[in-house]
Amino acid sequence: MAALEAQGGEDCARFVGGCVRNALLGQPVDDIDIATRLTPEHTIAALRAAGLKAVPTGVEHGTVTAVSGGRPFEITTLRRDVETDGRRAVVAFTTDWAEDAARRDFGLNALYADASGRLHDPTGQGLADLLARRVVFVGDARIRIREDYLRILRFFRFHAWYGHGALDSEGLAACRDGREGLRRLSAERVSKELLKLLAAPDPRPAVAAMSEAGVLAEVLPEAVKPALFDALVDLTTDPVLRLSALLPSDPQIVDAVARRLRLSNAQRERLVAAAGEIAPTLEPTVARAFIYRLGQEAFGDRLTRGRAARPDVEASALIRLAEDWTPPRLPVGGHDLARLGVEPGPRTGRLLKAFEDEWIAADFPADGHQERLSRLAASEP
């Protein structure tokens, strides 16, 4: 901030958005964004003059990333929208704080603070909204949404994280009316916003409102009745597992959803593996077999879903087993069959599979492997 003010004078730069919002709420601050009257070129010059690293991460939109003490600070020139298409905007730079605030999504995100800590609220509604825990669009909600349809999902996401009580009626109506615009957005933007929403401490009221407004059906038409989701929220904060509870227990459908949302391979594989429920009443021997075949993560996910489906059943013993038991490695291999005279080939695979099935059914005994393998080899031509 000192570097920017040395170039542009007093009040040429202010902290803005989430860092101001969270500081006022006493919540952790992750990213620090700064708005400035300086153009990107002057911002870069100011940073370099102060010996700070300047990275032109988005100069066409006015953004320069400063690096100080190994930490990034995103600095953006004040802007006003010239043209929007529901996904991106053509902007022009300005020196007017009110113009910059007017293009932001919600009042609680249009708060600024200067280097001394003095708060600025150009819209006149941001601080009141924040203190009342209201998520309200800046200006006309329908116009804000038409500028970028992702703001529909952001409306529900910010309510899940910062809102309290009923959702703003005007904003909710605008989201309902504009929901078809979500089809114009990239899958990556939609899935990122959806997972952020599901990571909120309690996303249930926001998800219920999304469903009632027809927004959930636009982004997740496969969504099932929320009973499992509602119960599972109390058991985990993991957004991927919470997403799984909104989907049917059909691996093919889940796989198709994950691919449509362009989730990462790891997220997709986890969702598919979690498509099912493990009963909390499962016997330990059967549970160990499931853990071995599914893997610990998938077993834990299915067990969590099973606990959500049957919240009245005590599951502490099974939880400990899932956390503490490490599946052993298969104690035999092709070399053991070769010593018995079995030629490498399809028969080797069949015998190892038969051995593994028996070994699992016997609850993973630590000895007797060669005898069991010899018997299997002798019984199959």
Do residues 263 and 366 both lie within one domain? no
Question: Which of 67, 100, 132 delimits the end of a domain?
Answer: 132
**What's the CATH code of the domain at 186?**
1.10.110.30
Do residues 211 and 229 both lie within one domain? no
Do residues 245 and 351 both lie within one domain? no
Do residues 213 and 173 both lie within one domain? yes
Do residues 123 and 27 both lie within one domain? yes
Do residues 53 and 96 both lie within one domain? yes
End-to-end, the C-alpha distance of the chain in Å comes to 80
Range of the domain at 1: 1-132
Do residues 35 and 89 both lie within one domain? yes
Which of 202, 224, 205 has its CA nearest to residue 213? 205
Pairing of strands 53-58, 63-68: antiparallel
Amino acid at 286: V
Question: Which of 311, 327, 343 delimits the end of a domain?
Answer: 327
Do residues 305 and 292 both lie within one domain? yes
Question: Which of 84, 112, 132 delimits the end of a domain?
Answer: 132
Do residues 6 and 124 both lie within one domain? yes
Do residues 128 and 3 both lie within one domain? yes
**What's the CATH code of the domain at 25?**
3.30.460.10
Q: What is the 3-state secondary structure (H, E, C) of the chain?
A: CHHHHHHHCCCCEEEECHHHHHHHHCCCCCCCEEEECCCHHHHHHHHHHCCCEEEEEEHHHCEEEEEECCEEEEEEECEEEEEECECCEEEEECCCHHHHHHCCCEHHHCCEECCCCCEECCCCCHHHHHHHCCCCECCCHHHHHHHECHHHHHHHHHHHHHCCCCCCHHHHHHHHHHHHHHHHCCHHHHHHHHHHHHCCCCCHHHHHHHHHCCHHHHHCCCCCCCHHHHHHCCCCCCHHHHHHCCCCCCHHHHHHHHHHCCCCHHHHHHHHHCCCCCCCCCCHHHHHHHHHHHCHHHHHHHHHHHHHHCCCCCCHHHHHHHHHCCCCCCCCCHHHHHHCCCCCCHHHHHHHHHHHHHHHHCCCCCCCHHHHHHHHHHHCC
Say what the pLDDT of residue 87 is: 61
Do residues 174 and 231 both lie within one domain? no
Do residues 345 and 278 both lie within one domain? no
Low-confidence ranges of the chain (pLDDT < 70): 82-90, 381
What's the domain count of the chain? 4
